[in-house]
C-alpha cells in the first residue's frame, strides 16, 4: 500500500475545538503526547453529532489512493492498541487507521510505518531531484558492500589508464586512507541534519567512491579522464541509485567565453540542471559537499577562482553554501589560516577565506600516501622556501551564513576583495594612509569608530576588522572607488582557463 494517504476534506473541516486539539503528525508521536493526553472529552462527542461524524469518515478506497501523514484529533489512547476507544471520535480515527492496515494486523504499528517521513534523496537519472525530501540521520546502503580493491590492484589500473603527459594527478589508492577520508567527511555532522550529496572530483579508480557508497553516501562522481568512466559506470549499476557518473572536470567548470562546450569542460548551471540539484537559500543547511584533491598545477590560481565564485555567489555557490573538502598543499593551508603579525604569509587569501568561511583542518597526509600518474612513479613534491610543505592537508571550507549583509553584498563584494588585496600588497603600510585615500570622512574617524589604533599597519588587522571597516565605509556612502581602476599588481584567477 502506498505510504501516503490523507483524510477527506470532511475530517479537516471540523469545528475549531476538535480540529486544533492535536496538531501533531504520527511521525511525531512520543513524549510530545504527555501534555495532550487529557484533551479528549467523551461527553462532548456523544449523540447525533458523533454519529454524523462517523458517517463522514473517509471510504477505504479513498484512504488507499491518497495517503498522507494523519493529523491527530484525539487523545493518546486513540493511537494505542492497548487502550479502548474513549469516544466515538476515537473510534472513527481507529476505523480510518484500520482502513490502511491489512486484515489481521494491528493498526498502530503499520500506521507509523506507512505514514513515516519520506525516504532520503535517491539519485535517479537526473540526480537528487526534490531536495525537500531529505532523510534524517545517517544513510544505509541498499546494496551488498562493494569490494574495495587493494593498493597494488589500483596501482596497476592507474598505470594502465592514466599514464599520460601532464597534468600530474594524485589518487587515493590505499583502502585505509579512503576509510579515514570518508570518516573525516562525517565528522562534525549533526545526526539529525539532512542527508547531503557528496560531489567527488576526479575519483579515478574509485577507491574513495566505493568507500563512500559503502558508508551510505549519495555520490556524484566527476571524472575528467574518459578512460576511468566505463569502470565508474559499471560501479553505478551496483550502487542502486546512489551513484551518478559525469565526464566532467570540476576544476575547469565555468570557463571564460561563450559557446557550447564538450566534456570534460562544462558550465556548472548545465551540470546541476542535469543532476536535478536545486537552489536553496544561503542560510539553509549545506546542500552539497565537494571532496577532491586540488591539482598541483596552478593550485593558487584555482583557490582564487573558487574565492571569487564564493563572494559573487556564482558557479557552485549559486545553489547554496556548498562545502569544500579539499586536499591542498601544506603551504597553501598555512597561508589560508595565517594570522595578523605573520608578515610573510598573512596575505589577501588569508583575510578573504577566513572572512567567508569556517576553515577546519580534517587531517594531514604525507605526500607518499598518494599515488601519482607520473611516468617514473615519482612523488613530484612541490618545493617551498618559506613554509614547511611535507603534507597534503584535507581542509573543510564551510561558507558562513552571515557572510553577506546589507553592506556587503554580491554586488559590491568584488570591491571588498580588491580593497583587501591593495591593503596587503605591502603589509607594513599604515592603514590610516590607505583610508585617507579612499574616504572623504578621513581615516582617523573610521578607526575611532572601530576602536582601532591609529598607528596600526595593514598586516595587523584581523579579517573581521577588514569586513567591519568595509561595511562602515559603504554605509557612509563616502567610499572613493577611483582607486579600483589602478593596476592590480596581485595575480589571481577570477576566470582563468586552464
Q: Provide CB contacts within 8 A for 18, sequence distance 6+.
A: 73, 89
Beta bridge partners of 359: 397
The CA angle 281-286-291, to the nearest 5 degrees, is 135
Give me 37's grid cell: 493526553
* Distance from C-alpha of 415 to C-alpha of 469, rounded to nearest angstrom: 13
Please enumerate, by residue number, every residue annotated as part of a binding site for S-adenosyl-L-methionine. Answer: 172, 223, 249
Q: Within 10 Å of residue 96's Cβ, how many Cβ atoms?
A: 20
β-strand pairing of 357-366 with 243-247 = unpaired
Give me 127's grid cell: 540526480
- With beta carbons less than 8 A apart as the criterion, state whether 276 and 124 touch: yes
In the sheet that holds 323-329, the strands lie side by side as: 243-247, 219-223, 197-201, 288-293, 323-329, 391-399, 357-366
* Distance from C-alpha of 377 to C-alpha of 91, rounded to nearest angstrom: 75
- With beta carbons less than 8 A apart as the criterion, state whether 305 and 495 touch: yes
Bond preceding residue 441 cis, omega within 30 of 0: no
* Distance from C-alpha of 489 to C-alpha of 421, rounded to nearest angstrom: 9
* Backbone angle region of 136, left / alpha / beta, with phi > 0 → left and psi within -120 to 50 → alpha: beta
**Residue among 215, 140, 136, 137 at smallest CA distance from 175:** 215
* Distance from C-alpha of 407 to C-alpha of 467, rounded to nearest angstrom: 10
* Distance from C-alpha of 319 to C-alpha of 254, rounded to nearest angstrom: 14
Please enumerate, by residue number, every residue annotated as part of a binding site. Answer: 172, 223, 249
Tell how far CA 429 is from the center of its chain. 39
Backbone angles phi, psi at 365, to 5 degrees: -125, 135
Interaxial angle between packed helices 348-356 and 413-423, expressed in degrees from 0 to 180 and rounded to the nearest 10: 140
Amino acid at each position: 500500500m502506498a505510504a501516503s494517504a490523507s483524510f477527506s476534506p470532511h475530517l479537516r473541516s471540523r469545528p475549531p475545538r476538535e480540529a486544533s486539539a492535536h496538531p501533531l503528525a504520527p511521525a511525531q508521536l512520543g513524549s510530545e503526547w504527555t501534555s495532550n493526553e487529557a484533551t479528549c472529552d467523551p461527553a462532548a462527542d456523544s449523540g447525533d453529532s458523533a454519529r454524523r461524524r462517523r458517517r463522514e469518515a473517509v471510504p477505504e478506497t479513498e484512504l488507499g489512493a491518497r495517503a498522507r501523514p494523519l493529523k491527530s484529533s484525539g487523545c493518546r489512547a486513540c493511537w494505542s492498541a492497548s487502550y479502548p476507544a474513549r469516544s466515538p471520535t476515537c473510534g472513527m480515527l481507529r476505523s480510518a487507521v484500520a482502513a490502511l492496515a491489512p486484515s489481521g494486523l494491528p493498526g498502530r504499528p503499520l500506521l507509523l510505518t506507512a505514514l513515516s517521513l519520506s525516504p532520503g534523496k535517491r539519485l535517479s537519472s537526473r540526480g537528487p531531484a526534490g531536495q525537500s525530501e531529505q532523510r534524517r540521520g545517517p544513510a544505509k546502503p541498499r546494496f551488498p558492500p562493494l569490494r574495495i580493491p587493494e593498493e597494488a590492484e589500483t596501482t596497476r589500473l592507474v598505470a594502465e589508464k592514466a599514464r599520460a603527459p601532464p597534468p600530474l594527478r594524485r589518487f587515493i589508492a590505499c583502502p585505509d586512507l579512503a576509510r579515514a577520508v570518508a570518516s573525516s567527511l562525517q565528522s562534525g555532522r549533526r545526526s539529525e541534519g539532512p542527508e547531503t550529496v557528496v560531489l567527488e572530483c576526479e575519483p579515478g579508480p574509485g577507491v574513495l567512491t566505493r568507500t563512500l557508497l559503502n558508508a551510505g553516501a549519495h555520490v556524484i562522481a566527476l571524472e575528467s579522464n574518459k578512460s576511468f568512466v566505463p569502470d565508474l559506470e559499471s560501479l553505478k549499476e551496483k550502487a542502486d541509485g546512489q551513484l551518478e557518473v559525469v565526464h566532467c572536470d570540476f576544476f575547469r567548470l565555468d570557463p571564460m567565453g561563450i559557446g557550447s562546450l564538450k566534456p570534460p569542460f562544462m558550465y556548472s548551471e548545465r551540470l546541476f540542471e542535469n543532476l536535478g540539484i536545486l537552489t536553496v537559500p544561503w542560510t539553509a543547511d549545506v546542500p552539497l559537499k565537494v571532496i577532491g584533491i586540488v591539482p598541483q598545477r596552478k593550485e593558487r590560481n584555482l583557490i582564487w577562482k573558487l574565492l571569487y565564485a564564493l563572494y559573487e555567489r556564482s558557479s557552485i555557490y549559486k545553489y547554496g553554501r556548498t562545502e569544500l573538502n579539499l586536499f591542498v598543499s601544506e603551504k597553501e593551508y598555512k597561508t589560508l589560516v595565517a594570522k595578523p603579525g605573520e608578515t610573510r604569509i598573512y596575505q589577501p587569501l588569508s583575510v578573504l577565506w577566513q572572512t567567508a568561511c569556517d576553515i577546519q583542518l580534517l587531517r594531514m597526509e604525507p605526500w607518499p600516501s598518494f599515488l601519482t600518474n607520473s611516468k617514473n612513479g615519482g612523488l613530484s613534491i612541490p618545493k617551498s622556501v618559506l613554509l614547511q610543505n611535507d603534507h597534503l592537508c584535507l581542509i573543510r571550507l564551510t561558507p558562513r551564513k552571515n557572510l553577506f549583509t546589507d553592506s556587503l553584498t554580491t554586488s559590491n563584494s568584488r570591491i571588498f576583495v580588491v580593497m583587501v588585496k591593495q591593503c596587503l600588497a605591502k603589509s607594513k603600510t599604515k592603514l590610516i594612509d590607505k583610508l585617507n585615500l579612499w574616504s572623504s570622512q578621513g581615516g582617523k574617524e573610521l578607526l575611532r569608530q572601530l576602536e582601532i589604533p591609529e598607528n596600526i599597519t595593514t598586516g595587523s588587522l584581523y579579517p573581521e576588522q577588514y569586513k567591519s571597516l568595509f561595511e562602515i565605509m559603504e554605509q557612509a556612502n563616502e567610499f572613493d572607488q577611483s582607486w579600483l581602476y589602478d593596476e592590480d599588481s596581485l595575480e589571481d584567477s577570477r576566470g582563468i582557463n586552464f
